[in-house]
Chains A and B, each alone.
Chain A
Amino acid sequence: MSEGTGILRDYDWWLLTIIFAICGVGVIEIWSATHTSHLAGMHWKQVWWIALGLGLMMLLSRLDYHSVLDKAPILYVIGIVALLAVLVAGHTRYGAKRWLPVMGEFFQVSEIAKLIIIVSLARFYAEVRTERLSIADLCKAAALTAVPIGLILLQPDLGTAMVLVPVVAVGAYLAGIQWKHAAAMILAAALMVPIGWHHLKPYQKDRVTTFLRPEEDPKGSGYQILQSKIAVGSGGFWGKGLGNGSQNQLGFVPVRYSDFILAALAEELGFAGVFVTLVLYTALLLRLIQNAQHAKDRAGMFLVMGVAAILGFHVLVNVAMVIGFMPVTGIPLPLMSYGGSAMLFVFLALGLVMNVRLRRFVN
């Protein structure tokens, strides 16, 4: 392990700069979206979450990721138990059991579960020594992920459950999945769709159907997508200015400080603001991949790419939802959307990335 001065020098300052920029834009837009409403002051809470997240990230980066991966089996069991606990004793909000009370705040257990799955899968893929991923290993990885996915679906939380899929998928790709296996998996998934559809909750079905035709039912379930698109479209190139977006300020944009924060931003800062934001996210993801490429070992790479897969999926799905390319799934925009659990998860995940980077030259 290297000395303290080396640690400071080896921190990924580019990554931190990008993270701060994205968080900054997020705080400003949260302020703009809430300062005239009863939610005024929410941006300060977000600042505290960011500070707390940064602290946890630093702490986690000090710990050698190999020791974290070493505890993966235990962590996995703890994760499953926590997901079971939330099903039994969780707090119900918006018709779903997702929250466990911890120190007066409600935490979404599934956020911790995401982190544990990243670690567990990194450990699993790192142990695969063949050049090509065997069908047996592929099935094991799928089974490892299927258990928590099933538990999260029971909450129900389709969005979070889906987020775990790219971790397995990206891992499998990097572990050398064979094309025939990939094709078979995709086919199997496609066959699962009708069965899965049957088990969707009515509100989830509504979201999917109205995503396909939002204008048909502008005041029913299509409302959110339509209002989001109106907000985005009316922003034009330069936007209406911070605090001036009528869709945002008058409450037409649904959860404008959280899942739809990009719609609020698009309305007030226009295409220019959206362009800058998406460039920042692209830079973030590319920087993560670069870290993976420079990782000391395959375990480190899988860890970083697990984080990149989840964050990339969040960003792509959320952005696509805001402009009506995807149904409403309740997936927040990492580092911008308001929310404690999500923020802490992202910083902890980035802590793992930092950890890998700091140890790239260490034996």
Chain B
Amino acid sequence: MSLWFQNENRLPQTRLTVISYSIVGLMALLLLGFWKLQIVNSDRYSQLAERNRVRSIPIIAPRGAMLDRYGRVIVDNYPSFSVLLLRDDPQQVERLLPQIADGLDVTLDDIKQQMEAATALPHFQPIVIKPEATPGDIAFIESHRADIPVLEMLMVHRRRYPHGGFMAHSSGYVGEVSSEQIEESGGRYKPGDIVGKAGLERQYNDHLMGIDGMRRSVVNSVGREVGRLEQTDAVPGKPIRLTIDYDLQLVAEEALVGKKGAVVAMDPKTGEVLAMASQPSYDPNDFAIRISKDEWQQLNEDPERPLLDRAIQAQLAPGSVFKILMATAMLESKAVPADYHVFCPGSAEFYGRVFHDWDAKGHGDVDVHKAIVHSCDVFFYNLGKQLGIDRISFYAGNLGLGHKTGVDLPGEEPGVMPSEAWKERLFHQKWYPGETISVAIGQGAIAVTPIQLAYVIGGIITGGRFHQPHLLLTNEAAPEIDFPISDSTVNTVTEGMYGVVNEQGGTGSGSKLPGIELCGKTGSAQVISNQGLARTGKQAALKDNAWFVGFAPRQNPEIVVSVLVQGGQHGATAAAPIARDVVKAYYDKKQGKIAPQQLTTQAVPPGIPPSFAAQAAARAAQSEPVAEEGVPTKPDAAPTKPQPVSTTPPVAPPATMNP
């Protein structure tokens, strides 16, 4: 053995001690690190650990159905599957994406877009990449469970609406909640929730929408489920019973097919809406899955504006229907005697202008009854001059014009009832007396909605008791506004309206119903003044809007129907027959002549003839643009956003007026 180890140097004891202390110091430092993680930040890491091991998959609560007043199903759900993407392992997802896109028959960009939209959500939350799974998709997912473990099926309840846009505007539609709605909801909605976007779906969303449940399971680090935790069951949404009578609704819808307009039928004693239709329409089923940008744009930009609920949103001049309000104002104000009468030669001059009657031959000596029955313009021109705009405006306003009726639907428009103050406020202009003459026959700046006319006429003929229109059937009485009207006035107006339909020479006599005391008033309102018409040169495109508001029976009326047919020309021929059909159906049913449609089990009303849907489709194809002056422009199809009040520009006094 060599002597290499015979080193006589002393051991470096100090340096060894220094090393000992260093080790103790470093260990203490590491222990401090553990203290910080395990004691100081323990809660945070416990949450992260919990998030790691628990995967939550929602259990979607079904939405409540919509039933008609007899309990027949109008809107309900059907079971369906959505494809969920589990994003716990982004690298794995990234690798499998092309295969997934191929198998589900979607584009890669589409999936990536949806993943980007969900970047704000925590990673453990799965996202829906295909809302409606086809049987092929389900087979694909099942057969690739092992090699594509990131796909999962989610059972959902899809909304099912009647086909062809039946009652679409009232029912509305559902869609994915918007970020603004989430903010407004104060935590009730979460991203991805399906909520009502329009119509009753939106109005009664809180009632219809259930509370989603949650299935929580324990997963391991590769995302395989290894255990179940407690499950929160879904609370289904509650159904709503509507005041709508499906049979009347069907008559109204069918009568409007191919036309542009609206029908509102209600019980004037309660405010219950029995039927409410608007055409052209759209198919809310298109919204039930996920509407594409193109489809949405097309609906939005369609010149026919199918998304507009004309029953509550079309603001148009009422034409001669306004004469009922004039007669009421005259009799109630007593500004002129009740036997006030005028000689009608076919035209009259006011303030240096000649105003024509619709009937150039004239109506001879006219009192208020005859004026209503024949819809004599000259009588009301004179009456208007006698009453003055402020008195007219006072009565019309109290009878309900210029205010929302308060119907339980989002997006109702208030219409316009002009007055001196109104014009001063809006246009900073003086009121010209000549304008009063136009207003007296329901032209000029007046704008009303179909539901408003049903509400106003219904209130007048029940002695001034205005019941708030509503579509939700409840035991509680709807709010009521009273503006008492004397019996004699009600009587005079009712007799006049009875005469319109039932007297020789009445403007609505073509719609007489044997055995039924149908009363009503026709109206044909110009869309634009004759001068304007000449300017634009679009004779055909600007046909008059036809109105008819009718009720039955003469005493204690049970039903009031308001009909608008845009471009229908004559109230008597275009609108009155529709009101007559609805009233007839009401009586036929009451007298047991037609059996109520049986719909208790099916969601899709079998009563809707196939032609209804077919015609609806054909209608969508041909779109002849018709100018709609007075109908507010809808910048957004969701009819719930507040919009600027549309005001009909004051038009020059028309030369002639149709009844």
Contacts and interface: CB of A to CB of B under 8 A. Distances in A.
Contact of B12 (A176, A246, A282, A323): A176
A234 B49 CA distance: 7
Interface stretch (A24-32, A139-147, A295-303, A331-339): A295-303
Contacts of B9: 129, 131, 298
B34 A297 contact: no
Of the listed residues A69, A227, A319, the one surrounded by the most CB atoms of chain B closer than 10 A to its CB is A319
Contacts of B5: 66, 69, 126, 297-299
Given A70-B1, A271-B39, A289 B19 contact: yes
A49 interface: no
A197 interface: no
A316 interface: yes
A218 B88 CA distance: 11
A323 B39 contact: no
B537 to A, nearest CB: 67
A232 B49 contact: no
Interface stretch (B166-174, B185-193, B214-222, B298-306): B214-222
A323 B34 contact: yes
Contacts of B37: 229, 232-233, 266, 323
B432 interface: no
Interface in A33-69: 66-67, 69
A96 interface: no
Interface in A109-162: 123, 126-127, 129, 131
B27 to A, nearest CB: 5
Interface in A139-196: 170, 173-174, 176
A330 interface: no
B7 interface: yes
Contact of B45 (A229, A270, A281, A312): A229
A25 B89 CA distance: 33
Contacts of B39: 236-237, 271
B20 interface: yes
Contact of A286 (B24, B49, B220): B24
B38 A266 contact: yes
A230 B89 contact: no
A236 B38 contact: yes
Nearest to B44: A233
Of the listed residues B1, B23, B31, B218, the one surrounded by the most CB atoms of chain A closer than 10 A to its CB is B23
Contact of B30 (A219, A271, A316): A316
B41 interface: yes
A231 B53 CA distance: 12
A266 B33 CA distance: 12
B474 to A, nearest CB: 51
B486 interface: no
Contacts of B35: 271
B351 interface: no
A274 B53 contact: no
A346 interface: no
B146 interface: no
A70 B4 CA distance: 9
Contacts of B2: 70
Contacts of B136: none
A251 interface: yes
A219 B88 CA distance: 8
B45 A250 contact: no
A89 interface: no
Contact of B27 (A176, A233, A281): A281
B220 A250 contact: yes
Interface of B: 1-2, 4-5, 7, 9, 11-13, 15-17, 19-20, 23-24, 26-27, 30-31, 33-35, 37-39, 41-42, 44-46, 48-50, 52-53, 88-91, 123, 218-222, 226
Given A292-B11, A298-B11, A308-B19, 13 more contacts: A127-B4, A235-B38, A236-B38, A236-B39, A246-B49, A246-B52, A247-B53, A252-B220, A271-B35, A274-B31, A286-B20, A289-B23, A298-B5
29 contacts: A67-B1, A69-B5, A173-B15, A176-B12, A219-B90, A219-B123, A229-B45, A232-B37, A232-B45, A233-B46, A233-B48, A236-B38, A237-B39, A246-B218, A250-B53, A250-B221, A251-B222, A252-B49, A266-B37, A266-B38, A271-B39, A278-B27, A286-B23, A289-B19, A289-B23, A298-B5, A301-B16, A308-B19, A323-B30
A-B CB proximity, top 5 nearest? A233-B45, A251-B221, A234-B49, A233-B37, A250-B220
